[in-house]
Amino acid sequence: MSELMLGGSWAGGWDEPGVLSIVLIGAGSPGQGLFVYDTAAPQLNHLIASIAPAAGTDTVGNNYVAGIASYGTSTAIFAELFQATLLMQQIGGHQAQLSIPGAGALANYLRFTLATGYAFDAGILATSATGFVPGSTTTAETWHNMTLLNSWANNGSFTASRYRFTPVGPAGSVEIMGVINANAATATTFFTLPSGYIPATVGGFAAGANAGVAANAVANIRWDASGNLTVNNMTVPSASSVLFAGSIPLD
């Protein structure tokens, strides 16, 4: 059954006090779709749900979105199901989006978009938990091999030293891992992280080393706010290897 609403409300039982108003506007009319209000007659700021093929404005001035959606106060906050995407948003503000792309893409991801246009993507441990390349909302992140500095070299028995962005923490983090040798090292800095992967603060974590470390000392990896990664508490050059694996918070 369908009814064409032209500025009024349905006649009959749907308009009885205390009963939700459900209005179906036919194709070819402004604001076509199915609309549910929490008042006996459609009113501005009282739209609570809609099913519509495209976004628009209903006959009483409520903005609505495409797909299947429910709304909060003044329709400024809504949850939308549209084309395999569940979208929760405050209009003009923050957005949380859970998408399930097709085969060959990330299986699941959670996207937060701020009104300023910046985005933070968090994986849900499906095909990928690393979200997207910093600054992108479409290019999936992956491991990047380090180009080692100051004559540090990868230990050929292990995977080459590498890094990647991961959406852990408010600003995300950078995971680093590798096994490097200090046989010909000329300085303690072995890599500088590129733009988008540079932390805002200084920090470090313990690393493993099989030589070149003084008694009662522990080799460690440190980073600075310029993205420089260094090996500390260890003599270079030396016939030793350093093993590291850890996360660098970007905030």
The least confident of 40-49, 57-66, 84-93, 158-167 is 84-93
What percent of the chain shows pLDDT beyond 70? 66
Give residue-wise pLDDT tens across range 73-94. 544 555 555 554 555 554 444 4
Strongest mean pLDDT among 114-123, 130-139, 197-206: 197-206
* Cβ-count burial 87-97 (b if 16+ within 10 Å, e if not): bebeeeeebeb
Tokens representing 130?
């690393």
Give residue-wise pLDDT tens across range 215-243. 888 999 999 999 999 999 999 999 899 99
DSSP class of 26: P
> What span, in angstroms and rounded, lies between the C-alpha atoms of 171 and 227?
15
| The domain defined by 144-249 carries CATH number 2.40.30 | no
Higher pLDDT, 106 or 203: 203
Reported pTM = 0.52
Please report, for the chain, how many H helices and E strands are present, in that order.
0, 21
Domain ranges of the chain: 13-91, 144-249
